[in-house]
Amino acid sequence: MPQGVVIIGVQWGDEGKGKIVDYYAAEANVVARFQGGNNAGHTLVVQGKQTILHLIPSGILHPHAECVIGSGVVVDPEVFLAEVDVLRKAGVPNLEQRLALSDRAHVILDYHRKLDAAREGNAGDGKIGTTKRGIGPAYEDRAARRGIRIADLYNDKVFAERLAQNFAEKNFLLTEYYKAEPLSMDQVVEKYRRIAEQLRPFVRDTAKWLNDAIVCGRKVLFEGAQGVLLDVDYGSYPYVTSSHTLPSQAALGLGVRLPKETLFLGTIKAYSTRVGEGPFPTELEGDPEGIGEKLRLTGKEYGATTGRPRRCGWLDLVAVRHALRTCGIRHLAITKADVLTGFGDLKVCVGYQRKGQRFDDWPADTTMLDDVEPVYETLPGWTASLDGIRSAADLPKELKNYLRFIEEFTDTRVNLVSTGAGREAVIDIHRAF
């Protein structure tokens, strides 16, 4: 691998990034997360055993890799400690030495989760369909300059003062506006004092540490969460998450300059899925041929974080092209190609039709997508199983054609194709970048 590899999702998350991260992590010295929080869910199958991580970078499963959670991540300390516990019990070695948490990261507290749930509960048809992990409210507090950072947990005065201010405001909102139960501040200070001590071995100035590592030539994998279409600016606003999911966030959310030799890799699922609300032009829900349901069942399309069934549909190349252009990505990893085996003809969306007019760009006003008809190109599918294929040359010609179509439509190159759940089912097509 080059010295830096940034891996992001190009659709609505759940593209199978964990798998691609895992592929490169074998060679990386450091794996770093730069945005999001425990709304993410990376499902990995290693030696037949499934592991789901929400916050800690999936690279931790490689015993040689060091892992960083950067300042751009919002951290629920209880989730962090619970994941550490699970990893410890699974025999993952040297966690204190290999896992670093930024002292500048913002903390998700109980009131963030509670507000997230109250807002969603009150929003009626306008709900976003969040993961209710408190992600949005924690990022709001960061921007409003009332957030509590990991470093603040070690300053009793700052922590107590800021907590009191926040509790007063949040409880007012909860009770007066959302008509929900207030939260009690009793024992919170004590609880976080305990948590701070448990976190202490992991807390560092990760920006400084990672900069030094990059200067020393160490190889770093930058692990994105969610996907470009959930980016707070360039996604399907307001049906987005509250962070930037673009690759440029890697530098910001870690406080580093990326290595000069960095591969930016976008991960695309061979079809489309989305959890939560928001526009999804190629969604196949209740379609007469049952293709949406077949994709869900074959692809095991249930949220890794919330267990919600994912909405499924054909690959939307208009959305993907918008996402790739926005973040300047030219190299792709295509995942779950095996799921499409035996589907017959495959459709890919190359434009939208609305009120008799065709357009082929993703609009800023995404309500325009509510009543569009996708314009599809039909490509031949393949029937032969992809099991055991290890070389690009052995892929069915129809799959090669499908990949070529994606490349041409989006002006990119496919570097990797994943053809199964296991670590070994990743086929390298273009090693160079």
**Contact status: 133 vs ligand IMP (CB under 6 A):** yes
Compute the least distance from the CB of residue 380 to ligand IMP, in Å. Answer: 30
Query: Is there a contact between 7 and 31 (Cβ–Cβ < 8 Å)?
Result: no
Structural element, H or E, at residue 161: helix 156-172
Q: Which member of 35, 71, 102, 130 binds ligand IMP (CB under 6 A)?
A: 130
The Cα 206–Cα 251 span in angstroms is 12
What binding mask, one character per residue, do residues 260-279 give for ligand IMP by CB under 6 A, x or -? Answer: ---------------xx---
Q: Which is nearer to ligand IMP, 9 or 259 (CB)?
A: 9
| Pair 246, 7: CB distance under 8 Å | no
Instruction: Indicate whether 102 belongs to the interface with ligand IMP (CB under 6 A).
Output: no
Tell how far CA 51 is from the center of its chain.
Answer: 16
Min dist CB 183 to ligand IMP, Å, is 19
**Residue 16 in contact with ligand IMP, rule: CB under 6 A:** no
42 is known as an active-site residue: yes
CB atoms within 10 A of CB 358: 11
In the complex with ligand IMP, which residue's Cβ is closer, 2 or 303?
303
224 binds ligand IMP (CB under 6 A): no
Q: For residues 203 and 80, what is the distance between their CA atoms, to the nearest angstrom?
A: 12
Tell me which of 22, 42, 54, 106 is the catalytic residue. 42
Annotated catalytic residue 103: no
Dihedral sign for Cα 85, 90, 91, 92, please.
negative
**CB-CB contact of 213 with 30 (8 Å):** yes
Binding flag, residue 131, ligand IMP (CB under 6 A): yes
Instruction: Give the pair of three-digit tokens for residue 192.
Output: 């976080």
Q: DSSP letter at 162? A: H
Q: Shortest gap between Cβ of 303 and ligand IMP (angstroms)?
A: 7
One-letter amino acid at 105 equals A
Q: Is 304 helix (H, G, I), strand (E, B) or coil?
A: coil
**How far is it, in rounded angstroms, from Cα 306 to Cα 129?**
11
Q: Which is nearer to ligand IMP, 159 or 362 (CB)?
A: 362
**Residue placing its CB nearer to ligand IMP in the complex, 198 or 306:** 306
Residue number, 301 or 398, with CB nearest to ligand IMP: 301
Establish if 38 lies at the interface with ligand IMP (CB under 6 A): no
Residue in the structure block whose two tokens are 């357009």:
359
Residues with catalytic roles? 14, 42
Binding site for ligand IMP (CB under 6 A): 12-14, 39-41, 128-131, 133, 135-136, 225-226, 230, 239, 241-242, 275-276
